[in-house]
Homo-oligomer: A and B are copies of this chain.
């Protein structure tokens, strides 16, 4: 089972308008809203593809209640920790004319020391209760959470025999790799923000010097580059890049990587080909893992909302992935 942790979960609200005109009043044509935040999107993709998952993190206030209700409505198992502050909303204004999006992100709750300690203290019990084999750490740290939060959680996971995947950038990624997470998956912008390197391979090698094991860099329409912990380099991309909505593509890639790492993948898991993994040595079948990662990510591009993929797209697109070993 996979446990995703979203420390700054959100209620994502989408407004369709005719056109965004600053300083005017807009009639919203259509409103959609759903639980979001990167870890929640990862959980949503896994659930959609029949992979057992539990979503966790912090929730607070009335927006926290709305997020929780949406997860219930989607039958997505959840085990969140409470915070006194109000969970954030994001408002995504989409213009009918050009499909352009203008986004407003609320700041989110300030997490107290006590709330952070309660989460750290409660995670081991949650590993047991949710029978977690993989911990996914995604997204931004809310104010009040220490900068080494992901490092601390990666260490906790290892102490309990749980594999860890980190999707972060900047300082949070730099801190996390020091604790040797099993997989990190920055995108190119996050990798540059962390390492100052614009080249995926050079940046990934820098992360490995700092302690990272397997590094997967998502490169948008150019697919992904893997630098396994035991050397080598593997690239994967779609034969033809897809047009669509890139929001949530990275989350779907993380979902695929986590599904591959899960030692008990669901029988119903679509597009999941769990490769035998030789203990913690990292000697597993990266070509299958990265093929799935690129296919899930591409399937997410075809969906209007983050956290969604069509299982048929996943199956079809996996056959369209080209691999290049170096």
Contacts and interface: CB of A to CB of B under 8 A. Distances in A.
B102 A28 contact: no
A17 interface: yes
B104 A28 contact: yes
Interface stretch (A19-27, A128-136, A169-177, A304-312): A19-27
A26 B103 contact: yes
Interface of A: 15, 17, 20-31, 62, 65-66, 69, 91, 93, 100-107
Contacts of A15: 91, 104, 106
The number of times this chain is found in the oligomer is 2
A24 B107 contact: no
A249 to B, nearest CB: 16
Contact of A25 (B26, B29, B65, B105): B105
B22 A22 contact: yes
Contact of A105 (B26, B69, B101): B26
Given A20-B22, A22-B20, A22-B22, A91 B104 contact: yes
6 contacts: A20-B102, A21-B102, A22-B100, A25-B103, A29-B107, A62-B69
A28 B66 contact: no
Contact of A28 (B20, B25, B62, B105): B105
Contacts of A100: 22-23
A25 B62 CA distance: 24
Contact of A27 (B20, B23, B27, B107): B107
Q: Which 3 A-B pairs have the closest CB atoms?
A: A25-B103, A23-B100, A26-B104
A17 B104 contact: yes
A69 B22 CA distance: 31
A104 B27 CA distance: 6
Given A62-B66, A66-B62, A91-B91, A105 B23 contact: no
Nearest to A98: B23
A37 B287 CA distance: 58
Contacts of A101: 23
Nearest to A17: B104
A93 B17 CA distance: 15
A105 B27 contact: yes
Nearest to A101: B23
Contacts of A21: 102
A170 to B, nearest CB: 15
A265 to B, nearest CB: 35
Contact of A24 (B30, B65, B102): B102
